[in-house]
Amino acid sequence: MELSSASKEDLKVWLKEKGYKPFIADQIFDWIYVKKEFDFSKMSNLKNDLREELEKAFQFPLIKFVKTEECKTGEVTKFLWKLGDGKLVESVLIRSGDRRTVCVSSQVGCNARCAFCASGKEGFFRNLSKSEIVEQILQINLYLKKFDERVSHIVFMGMGEPLENYDNVVGAIRHLIDPETLDLSPRKITISTVGIVDRIEQLKDEGLKVNLVLSLHAPNQHVRKKIIPYARKYDIEDILNAMENYTKRTKRDITYEYILIEGVNAEVKHADELARLLKGKQCTVNLIPYNPVDGFRMPRPSKEKIEAFRDRLQEKKIPVTWRYTKGKDIAAACGQLALKKEGEGLPIYSN
């Protein structure tokens, strides 16, 4: 059993097997989820022998903080974590008004290998466990403790394709919304996918009602195949039908992410085609100007082109937003999270 993804009932069973009273699980959960204390030796209302048992039984936390980097405005902080096998992943904290949103990674690397994204550049290595996903939130909550703040929103938009790590992602979400742990609202959790049709259909029946975002990025199958290799597995119409089924079942609006790349998908004719594709659908298109990635030669459209694209969608009555890029100066913006080697240019912070 991994402590960071164990339910309170799981912990009660373990305590009973070890000869301790089950109610002690309440005290341990209070230390972890309310007081944000991860050091068993500091859990002062627990007996010394139990603290020692906990130290022996559980490797907690599983992920180790390495470094952070903060953008110039202070709105974005990027975290680097070391996993138990030495692999490294990143998370991003975004401050916006009262919101404290964490962009979570679900895999080491990514199989999707989208042409504009750094996450899959070095390939795919493995899925993160449920605990490794949960602990990104727990550790960032610990970081926020000194500001008397806590994580309010979670987006699965970090490294990896969340729906290819389906069981662990769904399990982590169930843990995070548990009233006994962080008690987060599913409405404040978003999953982003390149479009895994069978998993979208499965997710709609989970009863979670989280927000679902599709990385669309193209107005047709031909263009999509050029920039998203997964498009060869799933036809755009089948994906859109699955997304429609999801919104009908969950009553959650759908967002279609659209990264604008000069010479690929950013012309007004593409906006016209996109409007035809999405006509009558309950959705919003979120425009994202391409964020530069080392090793990828893809130009970002001019502001005038982006405005023309947005204006045409609005003319066609397609709800549209234009995402303000945050964290680009520390490679923490959309598409920029990548595999790292320890010590690659991130300054240390201390709790």
Catalytic residue IDs: 90, 334
Cα–Cα dist 341/82, whole Å: 10
User: Which residue has 């007081």 as its token pair?
Assistant: 35
* 2 to 33, 82, 125, 145: CA distances (angstroms): 15, 17, 21, 23
Element (H, E) at 303: helix 303-315
Helix-strand-coil percent breakdown of the chain, rounded to 5?
A: 40, 20, 45
* Phi, psi angle pair for 229, to nearest 5°: -55, -30
Kindly give the residue spans of alpha helices, DSSP state H, lying in 78-203. Answer: 130-145, 166-177, 197-203
Q: What strands lie across the sheet with 76-82, from one edge to the other?
A: 64-70, 76-82, 88-96, 99-103, 153-156, 189-193, 211-215, 254-260, 283-289, 320-322
Cα–Cα dist 27/150, whole Å: 20
